Each structure stands twice: as structure tokens, then as C-alpha cells.
């Protein structure tokens, strides 16, 4: 164990920072968090982080703006306490879907977040399956990307027998579907032709690729409203008639009602990671833990001689 390693847990995920700390055999740094009467956040960390290699774990799920500010304040507190090095561990990166302008006049949320988490505030960041693959060119600090797909595929392996096809619910998920197909040893793949109409609505015009008879495994990086997966399930039932449908996604953002809406479509199994703090999920939802992968990454980064980049 590296003696000056310190883990700071943000409030966005009550469980994961502690599980990472347990895996590493490190107690979480004490954090004090208060609100000013007007609602502004006031945080401080144990000044013992002075000289330490500090990892601030904060998922940027809803309410994303609150969690982002808290992450920035925790980082600032560590910097002012003279942490030797500061790494933001962000299991779910909010705003990642707004990686470009889709209409003239748009803001690009991901660029703003990447600027806020720039070299003046953190030394580097650890992300889990960020929505866009080109994050490296948007962030100005070195990044480590941890795979949530791999442990999810491990979880699914024993469950898939006979004829099976991996389904990308939109074009953006094709590369991910290919990685799942390789990890699961499945050759057949289908892609849903989807267009996003609004934040909550999608339209589907077809399904291309291999036929779907046995198990259809729909994979995506994230599920928010569930609209993308629901549209894929519907077209699979119309055109493919799979015997069973399994859904896998790294990030279960699950806005209000999403899980119930998906399970009402007779999805047999839904597998997500614990990048977000979902609680009280029904038995059909399996949550795969990321603590081990994140702890291994932190341990590797903390080794003497490992400098940012």
C-alpha cells in the first residue's frame, strides 16, 4: 500500500467511495459539508490530506449541477490543504452527451465541464465508459478510462447460451456492441436505426444486421429515460421475435419511472454498474460493482514514478 494515498468521497454516491476505500484498505478522509442559509455549499476536508496523493470520488449524476460544484469545492479544499496530487474519479460523467453543437447557438456542455475540471483544478481524472470516445481531446488533463463494459460482460457470460445476437440500439453504440460481442464470444450483431427527436423521445426507422431468434442482448453506455432501449425492444419484437431480451448498460441514470417502464416490456434481465447510486432496484436488475476496477486503477496511478500523463 502506498502510504500517502487518500480517498475523499463526495456525497453523490454514498456507497462507492467507501467500497473503493475498503478494497484499498484506506479509510475515507473526513469531509465536513454544510449549507449557508441561502443554499450555497460550504465544504472542508481533513487538513491531513497535506502532502497526500488524493482521489476525490464523485459521480456526476442527477442533480448534476450540485454534484459538479461539490466536486469542484472538494478539489479546491484539497488543493488549499496542499494535497501533493489531485485526481478526480468520476464514475459517471454528466454532460458527456452534449459533446458538440447540434443546432446553431448551442452551448457544448462537455467542453464547459472539461474546462472546469482543467489543469488549474485537478491533475488528472479517472472516468468510466464516458459517452464519447474523444474525451482525451476535450479534457486538458490526462485521463484514465476504466471499463464498465468488461465486468458487465463477465456477469452476462454464464447467462447466454444458444443462439444470441448483440444489438446496438443506435449507431453510436456500434463500437460498444462490437466490444460486447467479442467479450461474449457472439458473432451476430444488429443495429437499430434511431433518430433522437428530443431529450425524451426517439424515433426508430428500422433494424439492420443479423437475425434475432434466441437471446437478444441490447447494449448501451447509459440508460436515462429508457426511451432508446424501449424503442429497440419494440422493433426487435416487431422484426426479430427474440425468445428473450437482456439489456446491459454501464450507467443506469434511470430518471423517474425508467426502470418500471423498461421492465413492463418483459425484459428478462437488466444489468448496470454501480457508477450511480441506484437503490431499491427490482430483482430483474443486476448491479455490477466497479470498486475493484477503480481501486486497481487508483493503486496503479499511485505507484511511485507514475506521473500524470
Residues of this chain that interact with ligand R5P (CB under 6 A) are 97, 169-170, 172-173, 202, 220-228
| CB-based contact 126:147 (threshold 8 Å) | no
Backbone angles phi, psi at 18, to 5 degrees: -65, -40
Answer positive or negative: Cα dihedral of 263, 265, 267, 272.
Answer: negative
Nearer to ligand R5P, 21 or 91 (CB): 91
- The CA distances from residue 71 to 11, 219, 222, 290, in Å, are 9, 29, 22, 19
| Nearest distance in Å: CB 141, ligand R5P | 24
C-alpha to C-alpha distance for 293 and 113, rounded to whole angstroms: 24
| Nearest distance in Å: CB 131, ligand R5P | 6
What is the pairing mode between strands 41-45 and 31-35? antiparallel
| Nearest distance in Å: CB 168, ligand R5P | 9
- Among residues 130, 128, 141, which one has the least CA distance to residue 96? 130
| Nearest distance in Å: CB 245, ligand R5P | 15
- Residue 98 is among the residues annotated as catalytic for this protein: no
In sequence order, which residues have a C-beta less than 8 Å from that of residue 290 and are 6 or more positions away?
A: 16, 91, 128, 146, 148, 151, 273, 274, 275
Nearer to ligand R5P, 3 or 198 (CB): 198
| Nearest distance in Å: CB 233, ligand R5P | 12
Nearer to ligand R5P, 78 or 246 (CB): 246
| CB-based contact 254:289 (threshold 8 Å) | no
Nearer to ligand R5P, 69 or 174 (CB): 174
Nearer to ligand R5P, 201 or 243 (CB): 201
| Residues belonging to the active site | 194
Amino acid at each position: 500500500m502506498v502510504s500517502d494515498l487518500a480517498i475523499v468521497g463526495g456525497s453523490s454516491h454514498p456507497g462507492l467511495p467507501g467500497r473503493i476505500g475498503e478494497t484499498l484498505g484506506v479509510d475515507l478522509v473526513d469531509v465536513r459539508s454544510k449549507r449557508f442559509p441561502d443554499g450555497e455549499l460550504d465544504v472542508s476536508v481533513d487538513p491531513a490530506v497535506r502532502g497526500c496523493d488524493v482521489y476525490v470520488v464523485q459521480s456526476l449524476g442527477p442533480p448534476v449541477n450540485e454534484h459538479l460544484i461539490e466536486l469542484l469545492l472538494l478539489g479546491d479544499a484539497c488543493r488549499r490543504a496542499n494535497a501533493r496530487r489531485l485526481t478526480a474519479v468520476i464514475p459517471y460523467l454528466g454532460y458527456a452527451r452534449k459533446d458538440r453543437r447540434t443546432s446553431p447557438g448551442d452551448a457544448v456542455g462537455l467542453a464547459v465541464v472539461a474546462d472546469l475540471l482543467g489543469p488549474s483544478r485537478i491533475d488528472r481524472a479517472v472516468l468510466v465508459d464516458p459517452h464519447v470516445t474523444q474525451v482525451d481531446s476535450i479534457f486538458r488533463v490526462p485521463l484514465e478510462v476504466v471499463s464498465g463494459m468488461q465486468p458487465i460482460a463477465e456477469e452476462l457470460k454464464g447467462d447466454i447460451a444458444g443462439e444470441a445476437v448483440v444489438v446496438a440500439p443506435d449507431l453510436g453504440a456500434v463500437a460498444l456492441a462490437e466490444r460486447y460481442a467479442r467479450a461474449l464470444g457472439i458473432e451476430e450483431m444488429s443495429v437499430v436505426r434511431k433518430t433522437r427527436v428530443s431529450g425524451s423521445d426517439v424515433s426508430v426507422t428500422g433494424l439492420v444486421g443479423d437475425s434475432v431468434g434466441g437471446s437478444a442482448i441490447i447494449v448501451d453506455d447509459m440508460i436515462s429515460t429508457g426511451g432508446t432501449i424501449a424503442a429497440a425492444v419494440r422493433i426487435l419484437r416487431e422484426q426479430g421475435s427474440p425468445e428473450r431480451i437482456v439489456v446491459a448498460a454501464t450507467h443506469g441514470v434511470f430518471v423517474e419511472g425508467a426502470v418500471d417502464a423498461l421492465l413492463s416490456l418483459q425484459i428478462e434481465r437488466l444489468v448496470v454498474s454501480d457508477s450511480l447510486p441506484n437503490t431499491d432496484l427490482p430483482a430483474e436488475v443486476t448491479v455490477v460493482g466497479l470498486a475493484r476496477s477503480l481501486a486497481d486503477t487508483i493503486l496503479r496511478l499511485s505507484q511511485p514514478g507514475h506521473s500524470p500523463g
